[in-house]
Structure 1
Amino acid sequence: MTRSALLRSVLTRTAVLRLVLGWGSFGALLALAPLLGSHLPTPVLWVTLAAIVTVIIVCAFGVVTEAEHLAHRLGDPYGTLVLTLSIAAIEVILISAVMLGPGEHQTIARDSVMAVSMIIMNLVVGVALVVGGRRHPDRHANRAGVVTYLGVLVVLLAVAFALPVLLGDAGAFPPRAAITVIVLVVLLYASFLLRQLGARRADFQEVGMRADAGAAPPRSSVALVLAEHRPEIVARTLLLVALALPIVLLSHDMAELLDDGLGRLGAPVTLSGILIAMIVFLPETITTVRAALAGEMQRVSNLCHGALVSTAGLTIPAVLTIGLITGQTVVLAESPLNLLLLGLTLLLTLVTFRARRARPAQGAAHLLLFVVYALTTLL
């Protein structure tokens, strides 16, 4: 493929429009900074906030699109890891922007990660099982991979939400405990990635793709793909970064306006974390449903459970580090009700994905748990 043909295939009209919209919006906000710094009328505030959120979602779709291209080129689990890491990084950026913005946001990380957990493991998985189970009732995920995900998630979520209840001071880790948790979570997440990309990578592939037990391991396909398609991979990676940067730059203004808008409404603080989770995972939700419709149930697990492992594995160390550097209190301890819902979700996930078939009834059970969580949070 010639260089001009490669550029045309990567820099499509949609990609260029997303770039122009993202960077143009950032430029417009810079020009309007003096006006935005004043007390905006409520209608103007909500219109501005809606515009910024729309741009962030459009750019996030662009990031997911490029990550999907890389995923298809690299294959699982490498490709899906690129996608889940991209989404997790966007969430960490948005949460960090809120924490570093004005106002008190002691629980923003807890609320966001909890919302992500319930959205991914119940809402997204539930919809995927309902639509995928009807079209492909004989498909199921790779049980070994799902069990590995759940094992890591149980530890990460227990450390994040349950441990501060017992060891924390008013729901927050003391500095020494926070440093210990940062180190242990980073080590656990790194060891998980090494196993996922190394000796146990077959556990995260679609059922039927596992290599024969006695066969010699194949030559590194990723190395061959990188050598053969290096220009395309580099171009798509650069485009992914160029689409992600406006999200980073716009997140500060979004955090300030969101804080002001929710304060005027008198809305609960937890709503901010839920909104961030919904913004971040909308593109990946669509990708997951498409995978379910195609009968790729292990890809559904990789996208959902892999994204949650990456989110928890990156968010917890990031917010605790920000708290230590800035002196902010980071409250992670969850309520008994949410801990119960989270425990039920993990148990239901284990039962669902260890079954021999993907059943819509199991998806309905996940959806019911999400409705319960939404009602208890908002009401």
Structure 2
Amino acid sequence: MRSWTFAAPLLALLALVLSWGRELSTVVVILLALLLAGAVLAAVHHAEVIAHRVGEPFGSLVLAVAVTVIEVALIVSLMLSGGEKTSSLARDTVFAAVMITCNGIVGLSLLSSTLRRRVAVFNAEGTGGALATVATLATLSLVLPTFTTSQEGAAFSPAQLGFAAVASIALYGLFVLTQTVRHRDYFLPVESANAAEAEHAPRPSGKTTLLSLALLLVALVAVVGLAKVESPVIETAVGLAGLPQAVVGVVIALLVLLPETIAAVRAARRGQLQISLNLALGSAMASIGLTIPAIAIASIWITGPLLLGLGPTHLVLLALTFVVSTLTVVPGRATLLQSGVHLLLFAAFLFLAISP
């Protein structure tokens, strides 16, 4: 009750109430940004508590969905207040989430695991299915709009956007059914010899879990509101720095996925690389499978175009990411080399986002 994870959501919600609709000084903006970051971290912490109660692979699913709800809230808040200049924000954020998860989180997890055990072992069946789902969702939502002809520019027509939204929800639901019911064993850690190394905390009680659920909801409300308050400042800062508008999406994705990154690296260090991959690919999948339908609904109120199609540079990075990821996943084993390849792709993504 005295920990920062209890106080952060409540303080963030209080700050939201006090700052809503007011002119903010620089000091207040910085303070709100810190509270926003604290609320994001606290939200994922409480999702992790709930995940520990329900077990794997449900735990990874809870974390992925919680993170995606935050991401969708930030995207919609910024798009509703930003007008036409945020027309590509959803695309930029979702693409950034895919690159961060499939290269950044996977690369760091492989690095952490291979430095301790030389060869990292994971379940190729479950990870391969997750990767195939991510690749299909990304192609449907981020690649096809570049080549369709019904709408001018890299955008879907309303009918195409509706189809993409329904297909994304259906495919994501099918994956969740596979992960949690029909083939749950495909997504459990295979390093049974290292199970004793896992430093599990005691399973939280029902009361603790319910408290975390309530605080998770409070944190999500605070994140949505503070994102709305902070959105003009974020866009102004990016403009003054002379950076491309796409950097806004990268900042959102990095902020939201930071706790997931920490959780994945910790799992890899415990010898549970499969959990790390569940977190990474599950977050990428949820980011596309839930964000695109949410944006499709929000497009009713959003004025201006909704650009989803990637440009040539990002298409090359995305294709290379899926080719490399496939070669990493198929053997069910990885070494330090694979981690270096993924981290180099992640570095290239960050560099090209700043200097396209």
TM-score, normalised via structure 2 length:
0.90
Shift of 1:34: 3.4
Q: How does 1:100-111 map to 2 (within 5 A)?
A: 100-103=80-83, 104-111=85-92
Shift of 1:302: 0.6
Shift of 1:261: 2.5
Name the aligned partner's letter for residue 111 of structure 2: V
Name the aligned partner's letter for residue 158 of structure 1: T
Q: How does 1:74-153 map to 2 (within 5 A)?
A: 74-103=54-83, 104-153=85-134
Residues of 2 paired with 1:329 and 1:339: CA distance? Answer: 21
Q: How does 1:1-379 map to 2 (within 5 A)?
A: 11-30=1-20, 33-36=21-24, 44=26, 47-103=27-83, 104-167=85-148, 168-207=151-190, 229-379=205-355
Shift of 1:48: 4.2
Note if contact 1:106-1:331 (Cα within 8 Å) is conserved in structure 2: yes
Shift of 1:20: 3.8
Shift of 1:146: 0.8
Higher mean alpha-carbon deviation, 262-271 vs 96-105, is at 262-271
Name the aligned partner's letter for residue 281 of structure 2: H
Note if contact 1:138-1:357 (Cα within 8 Å) is conserved in structure 2: yes
Shift of 1:353: 2.5
Shift of 1:159: 0.9
Shift of 1:234: 2.1
Shift of 1:169: 2.3
Is the alpha carbon distance of 1:356 and 1:313 closer, same or farther for their aligned partners in structure 2, counting shifts above 3 Å?
A: closer
Name the aligned partner's letter for residue 102 of structure 2: M
Note if contact 1:164-1:333 (Cα within 8 Å) is conserved in structure 2: yes
Is the alpha carbon distance of 1:302 and 1:187 closer, same or farther for their aligned partners in structure 2, counting shifts above 3 Å?
A: same
Residues of 2 paired with 1:231 and 1:131: CA distance? Answer: 34
Higher mean alpha-carbon deviation, 368-377 vs 350-359, is at 350-359
Name the SS for the 1:330 alignment partner. Answer: coil
Q: Identity over the aligned pairs, expressed in percent?
A: 29
Residues of 2 paired with 1:19 and 1:242: CA distance? Answer: 6
Residues of 2 paired with 1:131 and 1:80: CA distance? Answer: 19
Residues of 1 paired with 2:277 and 2:76: CA distance? Answer: 27
**Deviation readout 1:312-336 (Å, 9 max, x if unpaired):** 1011111122123434311011012
Is the alpha carbon distance of 1:373 and 1:13 closer, same or farther for their aligned partners in structure 2, counting shifts above 3 Å?
A: closer
Name the aligned partner's letter for residue 18 of structure 2: A
What RMSD in Å do the two structures reach over aligned CA positions? 2.0
Name the SS for the 2:121 alignment partner. Answer: coil
Shift of 1:208: 5.8
Name the aligned partner's letter for residue 238 of structure 2: L
Shift of 1:264: 3.3
Count of residues in Structure 1 that have an aligned counterpart in Structure 2: 342
Show structure 2 runs of 5+ residues with no match.
Answer: 193-202
Note if contact 1:322-1:328 (Cα within 8 Å) is conserved in structure 2: no
Name the SS for the 1:198 alignment partner. Answer: helix
Show structure 1 runs of 5+ residues with no match.
Answer: 1-10, 210-224
Name the aligned partner's letter for residue 157 of structure 1: A
Residues of 2 paired with 1:118 and 1:180: CA distance? Answer: 24
Name the aligned partner's letter for residue 308 of structure 1: A
Name the aligned partner's letter for residue 53 of structure 1: A
Name the aligned partner's letter for residue 240 of structure 1: L
Note if contact 1:137-1:357 (Cα within 8 Å) is conserved in structure 2: no
Is the alpha carbon distance of 1:34 and 1:297 closer, same or farther for their aligned partners in structure 2, counting shifts above 3 Å?
A: closer
